[in-house]
Structure 1
Amino acid sequence: MCEIFISASPESYESRTRSVRLHGVVTSLRLENLYWDVLGEIGERDGMTVTQLLERLYDELASSRGEAVGNFASFLRVSALRYMALQAHQRIPTDVNVPIRSLDAREVLADWQDVRESAAA
């Protein structure tokens, strides 16, 4: 069992810090390389750079919650994992030429339970 996990390239779990400007405010985010790669793929699907994607996610999260965003790095990790889980369950196409913005969020999330919720059930 462990071979599946321990054979991962050490580069994939090394952390990298990026300084990004979110609405004129510079902030540093530290994530493992694999997360940066997944976020890059998500952004590319909609023609955005990672920084543009982060700004969009931050804005939409703050808007939906009506408050400042806490622990944004953890939110990004969960977003990357959720993206991969939705792909694994064929809710999001694996074809990276299909933009995320073209998908109907209600349809993608219909009857969807996050991994943690389904594991607890």
Structure 2
Amino acid sequence: MCQIFVRANPQSYEATTRSIRLHGVVTSVRLENLFWDTLEEIGARDGMTVPQLLSTLYDELLTHRGDIPNYSSFLRVCALRYLSLQVAQCIPSDVRIPIRSLNAHAVLSGARSGLAQVSAR
């Protein structure tokens, strides 16, 4: 079993730090390359660059929660949720279909309970 994981391309789990601007403030985010690749795909589906996607996610999370305790962890979870929802066929694998065109309620109601759980906030 472990060979499936240990034979992964080492470059995929090397971390890269990128500088982004959120509301005029430059900050840095450090993620493994596989997460950056996934975020790039998510953004591209809606015609956004990674910095644009990160800014949009930041704003929406701030509006939803009121705080952002660990943005890098949130981004990792976003990437994993995206891939998990694709595997569960709740999000189409066709990258030409924008994420913004999907009905969030329908996507989440079709997801396994662990993926669809929503915070009480």
Partners of 1:44 and 1:2 in 2: CA distance = 32
Stretches of structure 1 lacking an aligned partner (at least 5 in a row): none
Match of 1:13 in 2: 13
Count of aligned pairs: 115
State the TM-score, normalized to the length of structure 2. 0.91
2:90, 2:110 within 8 Å by CA — same for their partners in 1?
Answer: no
Deviations 1:25-51 (A, max 9, x none): 111100000000000000000000000
Stretches of structure 2 lacking an aligned partner (at least 5 in a row): none
Partners of 1:4 and 1:93 in 2: CA distance = 25
State the TM-score, normalized to the length of structure 1. 0.91
| Pairwise CA RMSD | 1.1
2:21, 2:51 within 8 Å by CA — same for their partners in 1?
Answer: yes
What secondary structure is seen at the aligned counterpart in 2 of 1:114?
A: helix
Partners of 1:105 and 1:59 in 2: CA distance = 17
Deviating above 6 A after TM superposition, structure 1's stretches of 4 or more consecutive aligned residues are: none
What secondary structure is seen at the aligned counterpart in 1 of 2:73?
A: helix
**Letter of the aligned partner of 1:84 in structure 2?**
L
Task: Give 1:23 shift.
Answer: 1.0
Match of 2:26 in 1: 26
> What percent identity do the matched residue pairs reach?
62
Partners of 1:106 and 1:53 in 2: CA distance = 21
Task: Give 1:111 shift.
Answer: 5.0
Task: Give 1:114 shift.
Answer: 2.3
Match of 1:71 in 2: 70
